[in-house]
Structure 1
Amino acid sequence: MTYLKRKGISLSPKVYFIDALSYMALGLFATLVVGLILKTAGGLLSLSLIVKMGTLAMGLMGPAIGVAVAYRLNASPLIIFASVVSGAAGAELGGPAGSFAAALIGVELGKLVSGETRIDIILTPLVTIITGFFTAAFIGPGIEAMMTGLGRLIMWGTDQSPLIMGMLVATIVGLALSSPISSAALALMLDLSGTAAGAATIGCCAQMVGFAAAGFRENRFGGLAAVGIGTSKLQLSNIVKNPLILIPPTIAGLILAPIGIIGFGMVNNAAGAGMGTSGLVGQLMTLTVMGFHPSVFLAIALLHIVGPAVISLVVSEWMRKKGYIQFGDLTIQTGGMKHEKN
């Protein structure tokens, strides 16, 4: 254990499945999500160069995940650069989940030999690439199949029982957004689409807009923007102090998700399912899937913004009157904080 500690290997589930997963999401955002936005915008504006730019960015998802995971695990430069290959192999053989696994194992095994020999410049990237590639080849397809199968099961369940499954999906993915877990990475690894993705989007919007509205009296317009179009993760420390503040936005998601998918036929894709209103990516992806029609804009306004705000505000005010939420429970501190992604 002393040797592992010296090499910077913690074997901590938190480091691997919360911290590293969050940085994996950053790699996804910078390539797949942004690339999809560019590709969509280029298509709408008939700008082939922008379409090519977006397509290129989307294709570099794997390398970006590899670098992001290696960076978060405090790997040496040689390991970070070699993780480009591990991430690419994982993406090709196992999708986003395979890329994450390949990068994670490649980095940690690369650390074991890093700086130990005179041929470090060759041995370290060699071990990182080989172990990452074999991880991608042997377990990547299995991980991808498992995640895809789970995602299909969720989508099937949502189609069969939209009321119950819509509520469950909205709650699970929405709570992931307000937790240290990356809701965006979860939705992408599950490859959510259709009504399941529509429900997830509403659940995420409920968390972000709901917290923004419920905390308006403490945080005013700055907090409204930071949480509403930034991330509800800014409320993490407050959730730890008083978990009851999760109730208003969660209730909003539970109410609105089945209304959205049953009454309005709301659908989305995996890239937008776990984003909520962060950078309005969830709304842009909804429009991309459903079409840029006035009825879709209206549905988005009601289900992603107005509904969550009204329901969360009403429930939070009732909880304030009952003493379950005190003034200051929703105050966020944005000064000097690192920007976190969903």
Structure 2
Amino acid sequence: MKAFLERKGVQLSFQAYAITALSYMALGLFASLITGVIIKTIGQEIPFINSITWLSEALINMGDFAIQPAIYGGAVGVAIAYGLKAPPLVMFSALFAGAYGAQFEGGGPAGAFVASLIAIEIGKLVSGETKIDIIVTPMVTIFTGFLIASFISPSIAQFLTSFGEVINWATDLRPFIMGILVAALMGLALTAPISSAAIAIMLELEGIAAGAATVGCAAQMIGFAASSYRENGVSGLFSQGLGTSMLQIANIMKNPMILIPPTLTGMILAPVATVWLQMENNAYGAGMGTSGLVGPIMTFNTMGFSIEIVWAVLLLYIIAPAVLSLLVSEWMRKKNLIQYGDMKLQA
């Protein structure tokens, strides 16, 4: 059985399902749901665009189409199939599994993830095993996706939604403590090879809980970008500050101490966001930090665009994370806890 699973490319492991599949799910969501929300927001909120009626309507219609469950669910299915190296027929059939999982009884992103993942792995098992593979493989993959979405996905989606509601409720009730926890955990999830964006969307984080998550994620990205500037220069500044702090994962494995500056920064800034400024966000921006500026854009989408919000975003997402992380990392360098080159990105 082990040899058969290896031959079919099925890896029953945490790495495959909780890291690889979840990370590619995030790419699928970014290429559909998140980008659709950004396009729609541009059409609705940018004054110059909004004044051009035909352009505004086109962007809003484009965004509305991209955020449909069947669209982003299909994108999730194909993305996970690609990440798990599924054969072509399985990959193309995974579009149905993801779309149905997202659309059926409000399964959403969680439903798309579960239905796609199981359908893909079952599809890989039968792929290439018969002389009528072109019929059997897509039929088995589609049928599996349908069954999983019908019987399991809605319950899992409901559980994750309920869990997210508890987090949102607890953060509203105890914004100081819960804000710190949410910022730290979501920030670490962003830097680890796990998708914080997918987690935030599946949990449907919102309000100040989403605001705390955004601060924690931004602290990781901007924090690493500022702390490692001498080692990585301008390219490292942008690749981490606007891309992802996940680029540091190999360096973290060598010296976990480099995680302290950005993580501590997020924990310090979280109460400022939740208690003092009461920053809010939605699920699409909560786990993105400053990646592609999605976190700030979704903050404006949630709280409105005003000079006060602009200053709050600049302070909590960019200026303060850069300054605090740099100060902490410099202190750790003086104590020989971090050495020059510990945060050097590999070419």
Normalization by structure 2: what TM-score? 0.95
Secondary structure of 1:268's counterpart equals coil
The corresponding residue for 2:28 is 27
Q: Could you say what secondary structure the match of 1:107 adopts?
A: helix
Task: Tell me, yes or no, if structure 1 residue 139 matches structure 2 residue 152.
Answer: yes
* C-alpha separation in 1, matches of 2:11 and 2:205: 32
Alignment match, 2:38: 37
Deviation at 1:6, TM superposition (A): 1.4
User: Which residue pairs with 1:16 in the alignment?
Assistant: 17
TM-superposed CA distance for 1:203, in Å, is 0.2
Alignment of 1:155-166 (within 5 A): 155-166=168-179
- In structure 2, give the amino acid aligned to 1:225: F
Q: Deviations over 1:106-129 (max 9, x none)?
A: 011111211111221111101000
How is 1:122-271 mapped onto 2 (pairs within 5 angstroms)?
122-271=135-284
Structure 2 equivalent of residue 55 of structure 1: 64
Distance (whole Å) between structure 2 residues aligned to residue 28 and residue 154 of structure 1: 22
CA deviation map 1:228-275 (0-9, x unaligned): 111101111111000000111111100101111111110000000000
Equivalent position of 1:286 in the other structure: 299
Indicate which of 283, 286, 289 corresponds to 1:276: 289
In structure 2, what is the Cα distance between the partners aligned to 1:72 and 1:6?
A: 17
C-alpha deviation, 1:9, in angstroms: 1.1
Q: Aligned partners of 2:289, 2:299: CA distance in 1, in Å? A: 10
User: In structure 2, which of residues 64, 77, 82 is the aligned counterpart of residue 66 of structure 1?
Assistant: 77
Distance 2:237 2:14 in 1: 33
For residue 229 of structure 1, give the secondary structure of its aligned residue in structure 2.
helix
Alignment deviations for residues 204-224 of structure 1 (CA, whole Å, 9 cap, x no partner): 000000111111111121111
Question: In structure 2, how many angstroms separate the alpha carbons of the residues matched to 1:243 and 1:143?
Answer: 33
**Inter-partner Cα distance in structure 1 for 2:61 and 2:229:** 41
In 2, the alpha carbon distance for the partners of 1:13 and 1:178 equals 17
The letter for the 2-side match of 1:66 is: G
TM-score of the two chains, using structure 1 as the length reference: 0.96
Deviates more, 1:106-115 or 1:283-292: 106-115
- DSSP 3-state at the match of 1:181: coil
Overall identity of the aligned pairs, in %: 57
Which residue identity lines up with residue 156 of structure 1 in the other structure? W
2-structure distance, mates of 1:252, 1:112: 46
SS in 1 for 2:67: helix
Unaligned runs of 5+ residues in structure 1 are 336-342
Counterpart CA distance in 2 for 1:13 and 1:318 is 36
Q: Distance in 1 between matches of 2:241 and 2:57?
A: 33
SS of equivalent to 2:288: coil
**Residue identity in the other structure for 1:332:** L
Q: Whole-Å Cα distance in 1 between the matches of residues 190 and 3 of structure 2?
A: 35
Equivalent-residue separation in structure 1 for 2:158 and 2:324 (angstroms): 38
Runs of 4+ in 1 over 3 A off after TM superposition: none
Please report how far the alpha carbon of residue 171 of structure 1 lies from its aligned counterpart in structure 2 after TM superposition: 0.3
SS of the equivalent of 1:117 reads coil
Q: Secondary structure at the match of 1:328?
A: coil
Bigger CA drift: 114-123 or 27-36?
Answer: 114-123
Residues in 2 aligned to 1:111 and 1:328: alpha-carbon distance in whole angstroms: 42
Q: Let me know the Cα RMSD of the aligned residues.
A: 0.8
Give the unaligned 5+ runs of structure 2.
Answer: 51-55
Deviations 1:127-179 (A, max 9, x none): 00011111111110111111101100000000000000000000000000010
Question: Which deviates the most, 231-240 or 109-118?
Answer: 109-118
Query: 2:97 & 2:29 partners in 1: Cα distance?
Result: 15
Paired letter, 1:84: L
SS in 1 for 2:205: coil
Equivalent residue for 1:338? none
Give the AA of the match of 2:8.
K
Q: Distance in 1 between matches of 2:312 and 2:11?
A: 46
Deviation at 1:284, TM superposition (A): 0.4
